[in-house]
Amino acid sequence: MGDPEGYIDVNVFVYWLGNHPAFGRTSYEWVKKIEKAPRGKYVTSALTLYQTVMIIAGLTGKNLKDRELIEKTVNSIESLSGLRIMPLMLEDVTRAAELMKEYGLDYEDAIHLAAALRSKAREIISNDKDFDGTPLKRKFSS
């Protein structure tokens, strides 16, 4: 398996699962691309699963004791055939502090950037413009 083409940011999954009025359709199109792609063409970290569950729980008024919500959310992402979910590593968490300073990111974005760089992704799929000044090419419009 070669290096992934793109790292998928949390907001793609949140907009897709939350059926966001402005970004839901674009996110859905990305999910369809991920589904049709060969395994590993796209990557995200385990942190993305956790953050997506947290955000969806907040949007729906549910909490982290709702096992059905957690299973449905995680399974929806995990089942995408072209997506590889990589573990979050200590090096990602520690490197993030350097990346915050270097690229002016918040800590969460810096952790995702560290994971994406470690995976050797060439681009990040996100509508978060904070990634525009990083080594990864940001894509969102399909």
pTM of the entire predicted model = 0.94
Indicate the domain borders of the chain: 6-129
Q: Residues of 57-95 as b/e, b for ≥16 C-beta within 10 angstroms? A: beeeeeeeebeebbeebbeebeebebbebbebeeebeeb
* CATH homologous superfamily of 6-129: 5'-nuclease (3.40.50.1010)
Q: 73-108, pLDDT tens digit by residue?
A: 999 999 999 999 999 999 999 999 999 999 999 999
Are 45 and 85 in contact by the 8 Å Cβ rule? The answer is: yes
What pLDDT shows up at residue 141? 79
Q: 23-37, pLDDT tens digit by residue?
A: 999 999 999 999 999
Q: 37-82, pLDDT tens digit by residue?
A: 998 999 999 999 999 999 999 999 999 999 999 999 999 999 999 9
Q: Pull the structure tokens for residue 65.
A: 């004791």
Q: Pull the structure tokens for residue 63.
A: 């909490």
